[in-house]
Amino acid sequence: MMFLNVIWHSLLNRKGTVLLALISVAISIFVLLGVEHIRHQAKESFNKTVSGVDLVVGARTGQLNLLLYAVFRMGNATNNIAWESYRELAADPKVAWTIPISLGDSHRGFRVVGTTQDYFTHFRFGQNTPLSFSQGQPFSQLFDVVIGADLAKKLGYRLNDEIILAHGLGQASFSLHDDHPFKVVGILRPTGTPVDQALYVSLQGMEAIHLNWRNGVKIPARKTSLDALAERDLTPKSITAFLVGLKSKMTTFHVQRQINTYSKEPLLAILPGIALTELWQMMGVMENTLRLISLLVLFSSLLGLSVMLLSSLRERRREIALFRAIGASPFFVFMIIQTEALLITLTGVLVAMLALTMSIQFAQSFLVENYGVFIDSFAFNSETLGILSLILAGTLLLGLIPALSAYRMSLHYGLATRS
């Protein structure tokens, strides 16, 4: 107790420098833990976006490209799939269900997904959780729209509100589908995935708003009335991609090969889980860079800590000599310096974890809304434990420099002031 008391008062005596060292250590630990946590969570967020989908099928492109635009709505499709090809492949007896996806329109920066009601029955996220509605129900009429949770929150839409879709993906598009407004009939519960950030309309609805369009431009004065629309054949000519669920996983590779060698159209079928693994393998380079940087930041701040302790030794020469005079062993002096270093780092860890918890709390909704990445609050796990022991080991190792110096000093200098 006396030992800690001595250290406490000694630190208090130098609170200015100690505080600065503490802040620098805390910031570096914050960076290290934050990077690890976000890395982990971003991965989790991606992984939980698609669950239970055996294959994702689109026009032939890179497999990551397909995964990103079909599932995560990032980037754009290179090409579409003919409706006939989709029908033919979907009718395969090995296929249990399919979800067609048609992209290309937007509403105030949010993407519009043309699909069928199967989206709401078969799509799964997280641990095989189906989509559910917080209000309303799936679309049934031609101009019904279901909106994601973020959209309802951010744009303040409620049931029965009218929405005008824009052609293309621009934030401020001038070509609006204002001849046919859509009515909100359902709002999905939040999922923490890109599902929250989209509007869902029927494929027929999507087709209908494009009827009077040629080459991406609306033909004026040709407004189709609802009655006229009812008579038209609104089967789409093409879709962007489709998700496949199989009756038996056993056939996954067979069906994949069958689609990849489909003779009528160049198609690509990917296994989403495998495409994701590939994505992580690529991201590994970036992850390791971030890790290395945060480790270097930690190293430099721990080094700063030991420099601070080392330079303080000079002014503490008399303090150390006094310890010796009252009978403390050189080892005691060594331990004092090491404990000081450890104490500062441990406080740094606590401060960093507190700051991390608070900033995640604060940034959570911002990240979900702007980046579609759901970051869970900071939790202690085995990985964190590993990082913490690394930090402590680093502290003890770098603490050796001032501690050994103090040890030597305590052997050489007495109470008498020299110089």
Partner 1 sequence: MLNKPLLMGWVWILTASSAPVLSSGNPVLQGAHVHGEAVLNVVQEGTTVYIEFESPAINLVGFEHAPINPEQKAALSNARQILAATDRLFQFGATQCLLESKEINVPYPGQPAHNHPHRHEHESAQEAHHEHADFQANYTFQCEQASDLRAISTTLFSLFPGIQTIKAQWISQGRQGSTSLTPSDATLRLN
Binding site for partner 1 (CB under 8 A): 42, 51-52, 62-65, 68, 74-75, 108-110, 128, 171, 248-250, 252-253, 256-257, 260-261, 268, 270-274, 277-279, 282-283, 285-286, 370-373
Give the C-alpha distances (Å, rounded to integers) separating 393 from 25, 386, 396.
Answer: 14, 11, 5
Q: State the nearest-atom distance from the C-beta of 64 to partner 1, in Å.
A: 5
Residues in the chain, total: 419
Q: What is the DSSP letter of 131?
A: P
* Residue nearer to partner 1 on the CB measure, 200 or 407: 200
Among 161, 195, 141, 146, which Cα is nearest to 368's? Answer: 195
Q: Would you say 370 or 381 has its CB closer to partner 1? A: 370
Q: At which residue do the structure tokens 């000093």 appear? A: 409
CB of 270 to partner 1, least distance (A): 7
Residue with tokens 């101009």: 143
Beta carbon of residue 72, minimum distance to partner 1 (angstroms, whole number) = 8
Q: How far is the CB of 153 from partner 1 (least distance, A)?
A: 13
Give 244's strand partners: 55, 98
Closest CB to partner 1 among 123 and 139?
Answer: 123
Record the tokens describing residue 28, joined without a space. 């570096």
Least Å from the CB of residue 176 to partner 1: 18
**Helical spans, DSSP H, in 145-271:** 149-155, 203-209, 226-231, 252-260
Q: How far is CA 345 from CA 10, 20, 378, in A?
A: 16, 12, 19
Q: Phi then psi for 350, rounded to 5 degrees?
A: -60, -45
CB of 326: closest distance to partner 1 in angstroms?
A: 58
Question: Rounded distance, CA 267 to CA 247, Å?
Answer: 21
Smallest gap, in angstroms, from Cβ of residue 154 to partner 1?
Answer: 9
In whole angstroms, the minimum distance from the beta carbon of 331 to partner 1 comes to 47
Shorter beta-carbon distance to partner 1: residue 6 or 373:
373
Q: Which is nearer to partner 1, 62 or 130 (CB)?
A: 62
Q: Which is nearer to partner 1, 21 or 55 (CB)?
A: 55
Specify the residue, 75 or 414, whose C-beta has the smaller distance to partner 1.
75
Cβ proximity to partner 1: between 250 and 416 the closer is: 250
For residues 132 and 281, which CB has a smaller minimum distance to partner 1 in the complex? Answer: 281
Name the residue nearer to partner 1 (CB basis): 170 or 414. Answer: 170
Closest distance to partner 1 from the beta carbon of 293 (Å): 14
> For the chain, first and last CA: distance in Å?
35
Rounded Cα distance, 359 and 239, in Å: 42
Beta strands per DSSP E along 142-218: 144-147, 162-163, 166-167, 182-188, 198-202, 213-214, 217-218
Q: Is 110 helix (H, G, I), strand (E, B) or coil?
A: strand
344 phi and psi angles, rounded to 5 deg: -65, -45
| Residue of 66, 45, 112, 58 lying closest to 85 (CA atoms) | 58
CB of 320 closer than 8 Å to CB of 410: yes
Shortest Cβ 110–partner 1 spacing (Å): 7
